[in-house]
Structures are given as structure tokens and as C-alpha cells.
Amino acid sequence: MKLTERFQLGFQVLENRMVMAPMTRSRALNNIPNDLMAVYYRQRNGAGLIITEGTAPSPNALGYPRIPGIFNKEQTNGWKRITDEVHKSRCKIFVQLMHTGRVAHPDNMPEGARVLAPSSVPLSGTMYTDENGEQPYPTATPMTMNDIEHTIREYRVASANAMIAGFDGVEIHGANGYLVDQFLNPCTNKRDDSYGGSTENRCRFALEVAKAIGEEIGFDKLGIRLSPYGVFNDMESFEDIENTYVYLAEELGSLGLCYIHIVDHSSMGAPEVPWRIKSLIRNAFGRPVIASGGFDKEKAERFLEEEKAELISFARPFLANPDLVYRFKEGIALNEPDPETFYTPGKKGYTDYPFADD
């Protein structure tokens, strides 16, 4: 089985080609990683690589309730306990840096934090807050040049913290309508300065973030997640989409990032992501690709055999099956995930999914 073969990612060896995809689980009370999270991640350390839930590099990035941060000492120390647990096997673990940008509500954020975005394009619908239930999204404040510079510095500091916390690398969340994606897409980026308008300008923020992090920790320890044609958080397709992703992938390839992780949410009811854009990104980048979305063992094996990706990530299958790798190896049936407990605090639906050997 190709899925269980080792893989050289940058300078690191992954024990197998199965990646646990990033999943927000909202168990980080006060935004601090805790011992319950350490149990959850340790249970899943049969993966070749774990990518953590979206983690805030800034107080301004704490858009959702109970998501962890990595911008202060307490958070960094919390993560250190988690990476120590995960490293009890040969599993590697990257932290996903997620800046929520306009997808945020002040009720979820610490005092003084700001809802920032490239432009003040409102988001439809509501966001859940622990304090006041569902609330309409506020309209974000457009970022000044100073805000942009400051935010890039926050990514850099968060990445330095990630190294202190014992992470093997960092994944930039450049997907799903969060801040980096808000810059890439003209439906959310209406700027007329050097960060908006042309392909190069819209990609500038993503590339500057990548450069800052890579210079801090090494480009071989840095990956990025992208979601071309994604519609989550009100995102839309746009005319220049192929050019944008080809240019971005070429530039990320020249910087020497260790992977691009391509999102496809068609298994969750989103429109199909055309194979063409995935293959354009893969060719332009010229380095390892992680394919994600709707994979089971057979589809994943086929993808690897056909050389459509080097690594495959699994989200819901890992959520519900801590011993997913063992189950795949032995051909054991999988537990079903329970969406009711995806984001609820506590152990239920988090650390109590049964192992096959229980």
C-alpha cells in the first residue's frame, strides 16, 4: 500500500503518506492549548503528518470561539505539551496559522482586538458566539499599510513561537475565505494600492507572509493551504483565477515551500474543483502536493498510484478514527463522525471515539 510508505518532505521523513487535515475543534478554552487537546492529538499520532486546527497568530485572528492562539507565552507553552505527546511516535506536526480576517465577531475576541480585512466587504449570515449566540457579522475595517506590516510581523513571531513549541513546521491557511484568501480574491479585495488589483498585487500579501515565515523558520518547514474555486465564507470564482493560482504557485515554488495543500470541499456539498486548476498548481509549483477532501483508502491509493499527489490528507476520517492508519492497514471498518460534537467543548465526540482494539 503506497499510503503507508515513507515520504521525504523537505529534510524530514514522514512515516507514511497519510496526513491529518487541519480541523478546528473549539476545545481551547481562553484560546490556550490544553491537556485534553494533547490527548486528542496524541491519539492520532499514527499519521505521517498532523496539521493542527487553525491557530491564531494574533488577537485579531481569533474570530471563532475557543480556537487556540500561538502569539503569547502561555499558548506557546500549551502547544509544547502537545507536540511532546505527538512526538512519542515518529509523527510530525505542523501548526496551521489561521488569520480569520473578516470572518470574525468581537464577542469571540479579546478586548482591543480588531476585525480586519483587505477591504470592508460585508459577509452575509451570522457567526456563533459563546456570549450572545448567533450574531450578524460586523463589517471589517480595511487594513492600512501599517496594519499589513504589523500583521506580517505577527505571522513571523507566531512562527518563531511554533519552533519554541516544538512544531516540525508551519502551514499558512491561505484557503476557505480567511485573511490570506481575502487578499487573493477580487470579490473581497477591492484595494487600489500595491495589495490589490493586478494578479501580482493580490498575491503580494500571501507571498510576503510566506517570505517572512520562511526566513524565520526555513522554507523547507513551510507549507500553504489553498482553495481555488472555494465558496466557503461567501467566496466566489473570478475571471483571473487560473493566472492567480499559477503565478502564486510559481512564486511559492521559487521560495522553496515544502508543499501546497489543495482544498476540495465537493465531498461537503461545495461545487466540484476542476482537475485543471489542481494540475496547473501542481505543475507551476513543481514540489510536493497534498490532496484533500473526500478521500477513502481506495481513492487515496489510486491518487498516489496515478501520481496526482504525493500525500493525501483526511479530515473527518481522522476525527472519528484516531487509529485510522491501523484501520487502513488491517482493512477494519471506520467509525462515523458526529457533526453535533465537532465544535462543542469537552471530551464527547473529541477523545472518546473508539479504537479498533478497544
Residues marked active site are found at 178
Rounded to a whole number of angstroms, the minimum distance from the CB of residue 19 to ligand FMN is: 10
Place of cell 480574491: 185
Rounded to a whole number of angstroms, the minimum distance from the CB of residue 146 to ligand FMN is: 28
Handedness of CA 51, 319, 338, 293 (dihedral sign): positive
- Which residues sit at the interface with ligand FMN, rule CB under 6 A? 21-24, 53-54, 96, 98, 173, 175-176, 225, 263, 265, 267-268, 292-295, 314-317, 342
Rounded to a whole number of angstroms, the minimum distance from the CB of residue 59 to ligand FMN is: 18
Q: Which residues have a Cβ under 8 Å from the Cβ of 158 and sit 6 or more positions away?
A: 55, 56, 57, 58, 70, 71, 97
C-alpha cell at 184: 487573493
Q: Which residues have a Cβ under 8 Å from the Cβ of 146 and sit 6 or more positions away?
A: none
Rounded to a whole number of angstroms, the minimum distance from the CB of residue 237 to ligand FMN is: 18
Handedness of CA 285, 94, 110, 319 (dihedral sign): positive
Residue 143 or 315 with smaller CB distance to ligand FMN: 315
Residue 38 or 175 with smaller CB distance to ligand FMN: 175
Residue 193 or 352 with smaller CB distance to ligand FMN: 352
Pairwise CA distance, residues 5 & 77, whole Å: 33
Nearest to 285 by CA among 219, 235, 239: 219
Paired sense of beta strands 7-9 and 12-14, if any: antiparallel
Paired sense of beta strands 133-136 and 126-129, if any: antiparallel
Residue 10 or 22 with smaller CB distance to ligand FMN: 22
Rounded to a whole number of angstroms, the minimum distance from the CB of residue 304 to ligand FMN is: 15
Residue 83 or 233 with smaller CB distance to ligand FMN: 233
- H helix intervals, 8-48: 35-43
Whole-angstrom CA distances from 323 to 27, 43, 191, 242 are: 21, 7, 46, 38
Contact between 47 and 20 under an 8 Å Cβ cutoff? The reply is: yes
- E strand or H helix that includes residue 255: helix 241-255
Question: In 10 A of CB 113, how many CB atoms?
Answer: 17
Rounded to a whole number of angstroms, the minimum distance from the CB of residue 174 to ligand FMN is: 9
Residue 196 or 205 with smaller CB distance to ligand FMN: 205
Residue type for position 238: F
